Structure 1
Amino acid sequence: MGLRLLSRVFHLPTAVLYGSLSFFISVLHNVFLLYYVDTFVSVYKIDKLSFWIGESIFLIWNSLNDPLFGWISDRVFLDTKLSSVDISTPEVVLKRLKALSRNGPLFALSFLAFWVAWAHPGLQFLVCLCLYDSFLTMVDLNHNALLADLAVSAEERTRLNFHCSLFSAVGSLSVFASYAVWNKEDFFSFRIFCVLLAALSAVGFTVSTWLLRQRFEAGMKMNLEQESILKELYVDKLCAPPEKRITLMEYLRQLSRHHNLLWFVSMNLVQVFHCHFNSNFFPLFLEHLLSDRISLSTGSFLLGISYIAPHLNNMYFLSLCQKYGVYHVVRWLFLLKLVLSVVMLLAGPDQIYLLCIFIASNRVFTEGTCKLLNLVITDLVDEDLVLNRRKQAASALMFGMVALVTKPGQTFAPLIGTWLLCVYTGYDIFQRDAMNHISTEPNLDSGKMFTATLRQGCFYLLVFIPITCAVLQLFTWSHFTLRGKRLLAVKSYRQALPQSAPSQDVKTI
């Protein structure tokens, strides 16, 4: 009786409950990204060798666990021999929600493991990173897969994504709150802060997934008889022979023939690279291009805007997506990135106000594009279902396979960026005296030459990376054909499938 009363009190729209899961992820993940390296380097005093070994192993695991967990989650949808009964769309949603209800609180607990020293720094660094990323991957895969499973129409998916952006923006405020308690010398207050964040996230995952599960279980009970009749009619009418067992290699062969997927991951690899390049080098650009020309508060404002504005801006992008389609909005953002970068290159590094606007907008638009691409992946899920005549969409597996190809961009970003900076200026980010060998003119102070060369190198890096990325992305994106009439045909086909009939639209749940 108490649980039913709680469900009635918190009778929130499905889109709000789905979006709230983004809050419980971002409220922890933003703090993790900002402080985990500094914690191990400055507080736990990890040595350089242990740090790089941990990062190297983590990079491998970070790329492999997405398709691995996606395959474990969705292989039952690809292999009819594993189940004698067809799986309906509401059952798929319940399966995702159960996974979130289990892994959400475990994700919060793995977050806490960073902030208390319990082993040798090198061992703790490796274990914490891999453990945290494992639960984060499980949460992200199932949460993103729900975007494809809860709704098929572009309007409903856009509405779900809108709420994700709204709640992610609110969750990003945890970064600002963390500044008040962050102290390397006295870690107690920060630990208490992290415990409170983890408790909030764990409780939030439990409550939100429980409310969604109650809603879908009630809907399944109401349509149980209708669903059974439809299944019987569907099987008796078609009398289709059992499908062959689909192995991982067969699934990979199917993906290799999915041309839109191949063009998308090519474009998205560049996008992931650019997003992480901006994140990795944002402090460097502030330090060497603007630090002596803007106030500290202005620098802090630019940093804060770079975290929150992409989520808020994404809400406007999503409204454009409803009107013009995701393909055209993403293409406009690539063109905008190219135009702004060329204008900045022509203006030069001495236009300080224009430089501030460009640094902030470059990150905001790039991050905003990343957040729109989940909608494209859900369309690829639909096309994969149609092309390969699947009985149920393998949403989590598709997100995992995309991550497998695109996540190396996270590694390429710092490696290529630091290499280009070193080639052009001789500056090694890990060795502050790396430019001492540069010869100087007799009448020119070496320190000033170092600063001028480094500043010019940072500026060229700032503008040429977006130009190169935009050109590559416009080329690959022009070959993506899942738009217009083809996209409408794919969605119409999926909506007409028999297993989709008993499921309810997001608006009615």
Structure 2
Amino acid sequence: MTLSFGINQPALAYSMTTLGAGMMNNIFNFYYVKLFLNQYKISEGAFNQAQVVFMIWNAINDPLFGYIQDNSRVPWCSKRRFAILYGAPFYALAFLLPWFPWKSYKEGDWLSGAHLMVALCIFDGMLTFVLLAQCALFAEISTKHESRLQLIKYNQVASLLGSSSILFCGLVSENMEKFSNFQTFTVLIAVAATACMCYTGVFGVSQYEQRESSLERYKTENDLSCSSIYKLTKQILTQRNFILFVSMNFFQVLHATFCSNFMMIFADNLIPKDAIPSLVRSIMYGAGFIFPQLLVLISHSVLTRNGYYKVILYGFYVEAFAAVCMLIVGPQHYYVLAVFLTMNMVLVNASFSIFNLPLADIVDADMEKYKRKSPISSMVFGTNALFTKPAQSLAPMLVVALLNQFGYEHLTSSADQPEPSLFLGLHDAMFYMTCLIPLGIAIAQVVIWTPYTIRSSHLSPLT
């Protein structure tokens, strides 16, 4: 990698997509559930229908786009930076879909369900197309562990800046209370994100694109066929480390989605408004997205010395211990609960931020095992998403169903004004879900992740 004025140019180009995508994704995941449940008054049936359609599309599009990007002969699709460059504007437009209602929705309006379904599917489709190319770029910019750590470092700085969108969005819109301000802010974010991703599209050149011999890949690679897709997917799925990683990652996506979708809802219900000021709440919500990047940056030397395997494993132990402590303390200590909610989200997102390292190692192992001329990076990342992305739909579906068992749909209903005492059971359920879901997930992840064997890539000599 070359340096210019102390700046790692390939890492900077790579990280600009993270900056743009982070600004949009954090706002999307943090606000869309609350928007459709509380403001658009979507029914539980319509919400679940949209999530089921989204889950199916979410699982299909990743390996499909991954295979197309790895095997297409069209440069705007097969070249990683071109896929980002041309996909960025459509990705930004898809981000704006949820925030502008198609009409004034009434409670249970079927159109709000259709709106959610379209918004989720189109947004995820464009997100997949752009970010799969970026993930492949991570594995293909360099095969050196130290170089990949530099990518992680720049990526976390970009993610830190991108995560601040949650903080500023909360301050500008008063946590979505001023909805017109919220809409204006999202438009500005979409424009800024497009510009960031286009920078990657212009300057994000991989080592394979730089080699003249690799240009033949775009002309002579296998045809797009079902048999070829089946063969490559089977080869990926025969790697034991890939199966272990994907299984662990499924629970990580489930946990991360649970945190991002319901942190605000649980905090608003479990912590009285007079207990914690609105400004502190905004900072708390923003910290859940900003502090993970700071934690990874601070842990850079630990990653270099100990490798990602131990860092990820110890993170699971900390999550489980924190959940047990919160159960013991109880829900009445509001500031402790606020710290726990924030810390839980920080740990989950911090671990998630370094998952490209094991996936890149798996790409290298696949390339070496099958003696490939060039890596099938997009397919490896896409196949991972095939099995993990359904968790993004399962988490809100299951949690909303559980909450509604305790009367949450009446809490958000404009027609009813029930007594607060009726929701004591709901608040208890929220508290136990806040503690027991992270605890159960952490235990499952420890069991799954322990047998993973690629543990010494950080010790490989740099050449």
Shorter-normalised TM-score: what interval? 0.7 to 0.9
Q: Which consecutive unaligned segments of at least 5 residues does structure 2 have?
A: 104-110, 217-221, 414-418
CA–CA distance in structure 1, aligned partners of residues 281 and 178 of structure 2: 25
Q: Which amino acid aligns with 1:145?
A: A
Summarize the alignment of residues 193-232 of structure 1 with structure 2, pairs less than 5 Å apart: 193-213=185-205, 220=210
Residues 162, 315 of structure 1: 8 Å contact kept: yes
Partners of 1:99 and 1:430 lie apart in 2 by 42
Structure 1 residues 187 and 53: CA distance shift in structure 2, 3 A: same
Name 1:278's counterpart in structure 2: 259
User: 1-side partners of 2:245 and 2:134: how far apart?
Assistant: 21
Cα deviations by residue, 1:211-239 (Å, 9 ceiling, x for unpaired): 335x979x94xx75xx69xx9xxxxxxxx
d(CA) in 1 for partners of 2:309, 2:262: 29
Give the SS at the match of 2:409.
coil
- Matched with 2:142 is 151
Structure 1 residue matching 2:353: 3-state secondary structure: helix
Specify which of 365, 386, 396 is matched with residue 368 of structure 2. Answer: 386
Partner residue, 2:106: none
In the alignment, is residue 163 of structure 1 matched against residue 154 of structure 2? yes
Q: Superposition pairs for residues 240-255 of structure 1, below 5 Å?
A: 247-255=228-236
Displacement of 1:23: 0.9
Distance 2:347 2:455 in 1: 22
Match of 1:291 among 268, 272, 284: 272
Matched letter for residue 469 of structure 1: I
Q: Distance in 1 between matches of 2:76 and 2:383?
A: 19
Distance change >3 Å, CA 475–CA 37, structure 1 → 2: closer
Instruction: Quote how far apart the aligned CAs of 1:147 are.
Output: 0.7
Structure 1 unpaired stretches of 5+: 1-7, 77-81, 84-90, 232-241, 435-445, 496-504
Q: Deviations over 1:445-499 (max 9, x none)?
A: x965852x44443332222222221211111111111112xx479x78xx9xxxx
Counterpart residue number, 1:328: 310
CA distance in 2, matches of 1:46, 1:341: 32
Instruction: Name 1:319's counterpart in structure 2.
Output: 301
Change (3 A) 1:102 1:345: same
* Cα distance, 1:292–1:263 mapped onto 2, change above 3 Å: same
1:365 partnered with 2:357: no
Q: Decide whether aligned partners of structure 1 residues 180 and 296 sit closer, same or farther in structure 2, where only a CA change above 3 A counts.
A: closer
Structure 1 residues 9 and 52, CA gap change in structure 2 (3 angstroms): same
Secondary structure at the residue paired with 1:172?
helix
| Structure 1 residue 49, shift from structure 2 partner | 5.4
- Counterpart among 291, 309, 313 of residue 309 in structure 1: 291
Partner of 2:407: 428
Are 1:139 and 2:130 an aligned pair?
yes
Task: Output the CA distance in 1 between the equivalents of 2:304 and 2:431.
Answer: 36
Alignment-derived partner of residue 87 in structure 2 = 103
Measure, in 1, the Cα distance between the counterparts of 2:112 and 2:421: 39
> Do 2:236 and 2:380's aligned partners in 1 also have CA atoms closer than 8 Å?
no
Query: One-letter code of the match for 1:54?
Result: A
Give the C-alpha shift of residue 9 in structure 1: 11
Alignment size in residue pairs: 438
1:387-406 pair list within 5 angstroms: 387-406=369-388
Query: Can you list the C-alpha shifts for 1:144-192, whole angstroms capped at 9, x where unaligned?
Result: 1111011112211111012111111112222333345549898665444
> Aligned ranges for residues 339-488 of structure 1 at < 5 Å?
339-418=321-400, 427-432=406-411, 448=421, 450-451=423-424, 453-484=425-456, 487=457
TM-score under structure 2 length normalisation: 0.82
Aligned counterpart, 1:26:
22
Residues 376, 478 of structure 1: CA spacing in aligned structure 2 closer, same or farther, 3 A cutoff? same
Q: Using the alignment, how far apart are the partners of 1:10 and 1:130 within structure 2?
A: 41
Is residue 14 from structure 1 mapped to residue 10 from structure 2 by the alignment?
Answer: yes
Give, as a single letter, the amino acid of the residue that structure 1 aligns with 2:156.
S
Shift of 1:94: 8.2
CA–CA distance in structure 2, aligned partners of residues 189 and 74 of structure 1: 41
Task: Specify which of 121, 139, 164 is matched with residue 173 of structure 1.
Answer: 164
What secondary structure, in the 3-state scheme, does the structure 1 residue paired with 2:143 have? coil
Q: For residue 431 of structure 1, what is the amino acid of its counterpart?
A: H
Match of 2:119 in 1: 128
8 Å CA contact 2:142, 2:207 repeated in 1: no
Letter matched to residue 452 of structure 2 = F
**SS of aligned partner of 1:286:** helix
Tell me the TM-score normalised to structure 1 length: 0.75
The CA distance in 1 between the partners of 2:381 and 2:41, in whole Å, is 36
1:234 alignment partner in structure 2: none
Aligned amino acid, residue 154 of structure 2: H
User: Partner amino acid for 2:25?
Assistant: H
> Could you tell me the percent identity over the aligned residues?
30
2:204 alignment partner, SS class? helix
Q: Mark the CA change 1:457 to 1:208 in structure 2 (over 3 Å): closer, same or farther.
A: closer
- Distance in 2, Cα, partners of 1:281 & 1:41: 11
1:329-367 per-position Cα deviation (integer Å, ceiling 9, x unaligned):
111111111222222333333444433322211111011
- Indicate how the Cα distance of structure 1 residues 203 and 216 shifts in structure 2: closer, same or farther if over 3 A, else same: farther
Give the Å deviation of 1:328: 0.7
- Measured in 2, the distance between the counterparts of 1:180 and 1:345 equals 31
1:312 Cα deviation (Å)?
A: 1.7
TM superposition shift of 1:207: 3.3
Residue 124 of structure 1: how far off its partner (Å): 4.4
